Amino acid sequence: MKKKAKNKEEGGGKWLTTFNDMVTLLLTFFVLVLSMADTDSGKVKEMCRSVQDAFGMLQWGELSGVRAFTPFISPRGNQILTYEKKKEALADHLNEITGIDATVTENGVSIIMGEKVLFETAKADFGKKDQTVLEKLSPILKNADCQIRVEGHTDNVPISNEYFASNWELSTARAVALIKYFIHDGGISPERLSAAGYADARPRFANISDSNRAFNRRVEIILTLKE
């Protein structure tokens, strides 16, 4: 009797193992079919709303859209890459113009032009200076999708003449003169332009030698590109 009961128990155990395997296979099959089927987002959303309502979660806000899959790579990465390439391409194009030093910044491109490229000493007009640089620069700035800020800078040698009482007036007047050129001769929209004068407050190099002072007497054009 004991031997017969033992054999019966062993048979039932084997049957249960086979049944479990079959259920697992069926579950796997239905999951596969569901993953390949088109999801009715409306019904899924309604189901989610019902579940949230049952758990009292709707009071925290409306149900957001249901997304089955989320991209592993954000499109933002490609946008940043394109933005950096755009800045580099613009800087390279500007550096083709003799007398211009263009470098890439966090928000765009910075252009530096020495005093001798544009102005006579202690003056804010172009005088007899060759305007080839500005003639080549203006079309590039006009077509660039950016805001343009012109900054005037001087060295630390005090100035006082019939035109300007200090380096502050001189640096500001030079920035404004360049703004006027961009508007009237370059055809650049005024709303894209702004001017600032910093005198000797923001030197590139310490004002300890004539060569350093020459570098500090400059005009900078800050281009802020749109992403």
Greater pLDDT, 61 or 21: 21
- Tell me the pLDDT of the chain averaged across its residues: 82
At residue 128, the pLDDT reads 79
- In this predicted structure, the answer to whether residue 223 has a pLDDT above a threshold of 90 is yes
Indicate whether 80 and 55 sit together in one domain: no
For residue 113, the domain's CATH number is 3.30.1330.60
Residue 66 lies in a domain: no
Residue range(s) defining the domain that contains residue 124:
75-225
Q: What is the mean pLDDT of residues 211-227?
A: 94
Residue 203 lies in a domain: yes
Indicate whether 82 and 10 sit together in one domain: no
Greater pLDDT, 13 or 224: 224
Indicate whether 54 and 132 sit together in one domain: no
Residue 37 lies in a domain: yes
- In this predicted structure, the answer to whether residue 12 has a pLDDT above a threshold of 60 is no
At residue 48, the pLDDT reads 63
Number of structural domains the chain divides into:
2
Picking from 19, 34, 60, the residue at the C-terminal end of a domain is 60
Cα distances from 47 to residues 12, 30, 149, 169, in angstroms, run: 40, 19, 55, 70
Indicate whether 156 and 196 sit together in one domain: yes
Indicate whether 55 and 80 sit together in one domain: no
Residue recorded with tokens 């009797």: 1
Indicate whether 53 and 132 sit together in one domain: no
At residue 73, the pLDDT reads 46
Lookup: tokens for 194:
């702004």
Q: What is the pLDDT of residues 63-81, one digit of tens each?
A: 445 454 444 445 555 666 6
Indicate whether 139 and 195 sit together in one domain: yes
Residue 68 lies in a domain: no
Residue 99 lies in a domain: yes
Indicate whether 179 and 86 sit together in one domain: yes
pTM as predicted: 0.64
- In this predicted structure, the answer to whether residue 6 has a pLDDT above a threshold of 70 is no
Greater pLDDT, 191 or 74: 191
pLDDT band at 160; cut points 50, 70, 90 = confident
Picking from 60, 89, 105, the residue at the C-terminal end of a domain is 60
Q: What is the pLDDT of residues 115-156, one digit of tens each?
A: 999 998 899 988 778 889 999 999 999 999 999 999 999 999
Residue 169 lies in a domain: yes
Residue 67 lies in a domain: no
Residue 69 lies in a domain: no
